[in-house]
C-alpha cells in the first residue's frame, strides 16, 4: 500500500492557502466599499441638515442646499426608467421568447453588447445631436432621460433575457399544452417567474443612471438653476454634475468642499434607498412566484 | 369509436428518422400504454398527438394524425384549439408558481373564461376528479409549490382536466414519484377512463400491464406490436416484445 500521509498534508496546506487568498480578496472588496462610504460619510455628514436637502444653493453655491439637484436626479432616474424599462424588457422578451432565427438573435445580442460598450460621453454627444438639436427638445429632462435610458438599455435587455432563459422550459410546455398562446404563456407564467431577476436589472440601471455625469452634461444638466423644473422640457440640476461643478469649477472650490462631500453623501444615500426599495419589491415578487 | 388515429406517421428530427410508418388507433374511454426502451419513439409519438413536437426545431412530420376524425396537422388548424381537446401531463410534476386554485383555473383563464362561478365549479370538479380535493379543499389559496410531489402531479392532472379535453396524454407521469404516490395516480387513471381517452407512455412494464386496455410496443422508431394488453403480455407475437416484457432487454 502506498503512504498517503505526506501528500495529504501538502494537499491540505495548499487548500488552506488558496482558501485564505480567496477569503482575503473577497474581504478586500467589502473593505474598499466601507472605506469609500466611511470617507464620504465623515467628510460629508457635517453639512447635512434638513435645510441642506430642502433649500437651493446660495452665495455662488458655497452655501445653502442642494434641493434642486436632488429633484433633478430623481426626475432623471424616473424619466430614464420610464423609457428604458419597458423598451428593454420588451426587447429582452422578444429576443428570448420570440426570435427563432438564430443568426438574427445573435446579431441582436452582439449589437446589444456593443451598445453597452460605448463610452458614456459618446452617449452624451449622441443625445445632444439627436434629442437636443435634431428633435429640438433643447437641454431638457426629456433629452437627458432618453440619453440615460439608451445608456442603460443594454443592461435591462441582457438581464431580462437572462432571467427569462433561466425559467425552466417545463413551465412553458405546461402552459402551451393547456391551449395557451405564446403571449399568454409569457405574460402569465414565464415573465412572473423571471420578474424578480428582471428587477435586478432595473436596480443596476438605477445606480448607473443616478451616478452618470457625461450623458447629462450636454443634454440636461444645469450649472446653477435654483428653481424646480415645471415640465419635461425644462433643464434641471443633477447631483453628479453638481458634484463635478463644486469640485472643479465652482466660484470658490475650497469653501464649497464640504458641500461637495455632502452632495456625494446624499447621492449615495439616494441610490441606497432606491436599491433597498427595489430589493423589497424583488423579495415580494420572489416569494410570490417562488419556484421550488 | 376511434378517438385517435394515426396513418403512416413518420417523424424526422433533422436527419434522424424517429418514427417510422406508425399506423394505429385508440378507442374512446380506453387506456393505451406505449412502452419500449429509451429512444424507441414512444414519447415522440405521444407528443405528436397534441403537436408539442412543433416546439422542437427541425422536426418534420409526414402522414396523418386524426383526433376525433379531424386532421390535427391540416392547414388552418389552430394548435391552441387542438391542445384544448388533447390535454397533457408531464413526466416531472410542473405546477406553476401560483396558488393551487390558480393552477387549475389557468386552463380556463387562458381560454377566455371569466365567469367566476363557472370557474369555481370547474376547478372543484377537476380537483375532485383527480382525487385531490379532500386534501387541498382548505388550502386552495396556498402555493402549489408547497404540495408533495405526488400531490403536485395530481394537481397537474386536475389542471389538464379542467378544460374537459377528450384525450389525456401522460408522459411517464409516475416516474418521478414514490411508489405510494404512483399507486394513487394509477388508481386515478382507472376512474378517469370513464370520461377520457388516456394514452400513457411508461417505462414500467408492470404499470403497463396493470392499468392499460391496450399496449403498443415500440422499438427504434417502429411500432412492433399493438394489441390488447392481455394478448401482448400473455401471448406476444414478436420475439422482441417477448424479450422486452420478460426483461431480457430494456
pLDDT number for residue B50: 93
State the best of A163, A179, A285 to mutate against chain B, taking most chain B CBs within 10 Å.
A179
Along the 292 residues of chain A, how does pLDDT read in single tens digits?
Answer: 666 666 678 888 899 999 999 999 999 999 999 999 999 999 999 888 888 888 888 777 777 888 899 999 999 999 999 999 999 999 999 999 998 888 998 999 999 999 989 999 999 999 999 999 999 998 899 999 999 999 999 999 999 999 999 999 999 999 999 999 999 999 999 999 999 999 888 888 998 899 899 999 989 888 787 778 888 888 888 999 999 988 887 677 777 888 899 999 999 999 888 888 888 988 888 887 777 6
Query: What kind of fold does domain B2-98+167-245 have according to CATH?
Result: Rossmann fold (3.40.50)
Cβ B96–A176 below 8 Å, yes or no? no
Please name the residues in contact with A135: beta carbons below 8 A apart, sequence gap of 6 or more: A143
Distance of residue A156 Cα from the nearest chain B Cα, in angstroms: 24
Cβ B90–A179 below 8 Å, yes or no? no
Q: Which residues pair with B158 in a beta bridge?
A: none
Q: Is the pLDDT of residue B216 over 70?
A: yes
Cβ B143–A290 below 8 Å, yes or no? yes
Selecting from B52, B80, B96 the residue whose C-beta is nearest the C-beta of A179 gives: B80
Cβ B163–A179 below 8 Å, yes or no? yes
pLDDT number for residue A192: 93
| CA nearest to B89 within chain A | A174
pLDDT number for residue A1: 60
Domain ranges for chain B: 2-98+167-245
Residues in chain B: 250
Q: Is the pLDDT of residue B231 over 60?
A: yes
3-state secondary structure chain B: CEEEEEEEEEEEECCEEEEEEEEEEEECCCEEEEECCCCCCHHHHHHHHCCHHHHCCCEEEEEEEEECCEECCCCCCCHHHHHHHEEEECCCCCCCCCEHHHHHHHHHHHCCCCCHHHHHHHHHHHHHHCCCHHHHCCCCCCEHHHCCHHHHHHHHHHHHHCCCCCEEEEECCCCCCCHHHHHHHHHHHHHHCCCCEEEEECCCHHHHHHHCCEEEEEECCEEEEEEEHHHHHHCCCCHHHHHHHCCCCC
Residues of B in contact with A184 (CB under 8 A): 110
Residues 111..150 of A with a Cβ closer than 8 Å to B: which? none
State the best of B48, B53, B94 to mutate against chain A, taking most chain A CBs within 10 Å.
B94
Distance of residue B83 Cα from the nearest chain A Cα, in angstroms: 5
Selecting from A100, A181, A193 the residue whose C-beta is nearest the C-beta of B97 gives: A193
Better-scored residue on pLDDT, A250 or B145: B145
> What is the average per-residue pLDDT within B154-183?
92
Distance of residue B94 Cα from the nearest chain A Cα, in angstroms: 6
Cβ A188–B163 below 8 Å, yes or no? no
List strands edge to edge, sheet with B167-171.
Answer: B70-71, B59-67, B2-13, B16-27, B222-228, B214-219, B31-35, B197-201, B167-171, B86-89
**What is this model's ipTM?**
0.91
Domain A50-288 has CATH 1.10.3720.10: yes
Domain ranges for chain A: 50-288
| CA nearest to B57 within chain A | A100
Cβ A175–B81 below 8 Å, yes or no? no
Residues A183 and A96: their CA atoms lie apart, in Å, by 13
pTM: 0.84
Selecting from A174, A178, A193 the residue whose C-beta is nearest the C-beta of B163 gives: A178
Residues 189..218 of A with a Cβ closer than 8 Å to B: which? 189, 192-193
| CA nearest to A98 within chain B | B55
Amino acid at each position: 500500500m502506498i503512504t498517503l500521509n505526506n501528500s495529504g498534508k501538502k494537499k491540505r496546506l495548499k487548500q488552506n492557502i488558496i482558501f485564505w487568498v480567496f477569503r482575503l480578496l473577497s474581504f478586500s472588496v467589502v473593505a474598499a466599499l466601507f472605506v469609500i462610504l466611511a470617507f464620504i460619510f465623515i467628510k460629508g455628514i457635517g453639512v447635512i441638515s434638513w435645510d441642506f436637502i430642502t433649500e437651493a444653493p446660495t452665495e455662488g453655491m458655497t452655501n445653502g442646499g442642494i434641493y434642486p439637484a436632488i429633484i433633478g436626479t430623481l426626475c432623471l432616474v424616473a424619466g430614464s426608467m420610464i423609457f428604458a424599462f419597458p423598451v428593454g424588457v420588451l426587447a429582452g422578451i422578444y429576443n428570448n421568447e420570440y426570435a427563432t432565427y438564430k443568426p438574427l438573435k445573435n446579431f441582436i445580442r452582439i449589437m446589444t453588447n456593443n451598445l453597452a460598450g460605448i463610452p458614456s460621453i459618446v452617449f452624451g454627444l449622441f443625445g445632444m445631436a439627436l434629442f437636443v438639436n435634431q428633435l429640438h427638445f433643447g437641454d431638457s429632462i426629456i433629452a437627458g432621460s432618453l440619453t440615460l435610458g439608451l445608456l442603460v438599455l443594454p443592461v435591462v435587455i441582457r438581464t431580462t433575457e437572462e432571467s427569462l432563459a433561466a425559467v425552466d422550459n417545463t413551465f412553458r410546455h405546461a402552459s402551451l399544452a393547456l391551449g395557451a398562446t405564446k403571449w399568454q404563456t409569457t405574460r402569465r407564467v414565464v415573465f412572473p417567474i423571471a420578474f424578480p431577476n428582471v428587477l435586478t436589472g432595473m436596480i443596476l440601471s438605477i445606480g448607473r443612471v443616478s451616478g452618470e455625469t457625461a450623458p447629462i452634461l450636454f443634454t440636461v444638466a444645469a450649472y446653477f438653476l435654483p428653481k424646480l423644473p415645471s415640465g419635461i422640457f425644462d433643464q434641471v440640476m443633477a447631483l453628479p454634475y453638481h458634484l463635478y461643478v463644486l469640485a472643479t469649477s465652482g466660484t470658490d472650490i475650497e469653501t464649497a468642499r464640504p458641500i461637495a462631500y455632502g452632495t456625494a453623501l446624499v447621492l449615495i444615500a439616494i441610490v441606497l434607498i432606491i436599491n433597498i426599495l427595489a430589493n423589497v419589491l424583488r423579495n415580494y415578487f420572489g416569494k410570490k412566484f417562488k419556484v421550488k | 369509436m376511434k378517438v385517435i388515429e394515426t396513418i403512416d406517421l413518420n417523424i424526422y428530427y433533422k436527419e434522424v428518422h424517429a418514427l417510422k410508418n406508425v399506423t394505429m388507433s385508440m378507442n374512446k374511454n380506453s387506456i393505451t400504454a406505449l412502452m419500449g426502451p429509451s429512444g424507441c419513439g414512444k414519447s415522440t409519438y405521444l407528443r405528436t398527438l397534441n403537436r408539442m413536437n412543433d416546439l422542437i426545431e427541425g422536426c418534420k412530420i409526414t402522414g396523418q394524425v386524426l383526433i376525433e376524425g379531424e386532421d390535427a396537422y391540416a392547414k388552418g388548424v389552430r394548435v391552441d384549439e387542438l391542445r384544448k381537446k388533447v390535454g397533457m401531463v408531464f413526466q416531472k410534476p410542473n405546477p406553476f408558481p401560483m396558488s393551487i386554485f390558480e393552477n387549475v383555473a389557468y386552463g380556463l383563464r387562458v381560454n377566455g373564461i371569466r365567469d367566476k362561478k363557472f370557474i369555481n365549479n370547474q376547478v372543484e370538479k377537476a380537483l375532485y376528479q383527480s382525487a385531490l380535493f379532500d386534501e387541498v379543499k382548505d388550502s386552495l389559496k396556498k402555493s402549489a409549490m408547497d404540495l408533495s410531489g405526488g400531490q403536485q402531479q395530481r394537481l397537474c392532472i386536475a389542471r389538464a382536466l379542467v378544460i374537459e379535453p377528450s384525450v389525456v396524454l401522460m408522459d411517464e407521469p409516475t416516474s418521478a414519484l414514490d411508489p405510494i404516490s404512483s399507486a394513487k395516480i394509477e388508481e386515478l387513471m382507472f376512474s378517469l377512463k370513464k370520461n377520457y381517452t388516456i394514452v400513457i407512455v411508461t417505462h414500467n412494464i408492470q404499470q403497463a400491464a396493470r392499468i392499460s386496455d391496450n399496449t403498443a410496443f415500440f422499438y427504434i422508431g417502429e411500432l412492433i406490436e399493438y394489441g390488447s394488453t392481455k394478448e401482448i403480455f400473455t401471448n406476444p407475437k414478436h420475439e422482441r416484445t417477448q424479450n422486452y416484457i420478460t426483461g431480457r432487454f430494456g
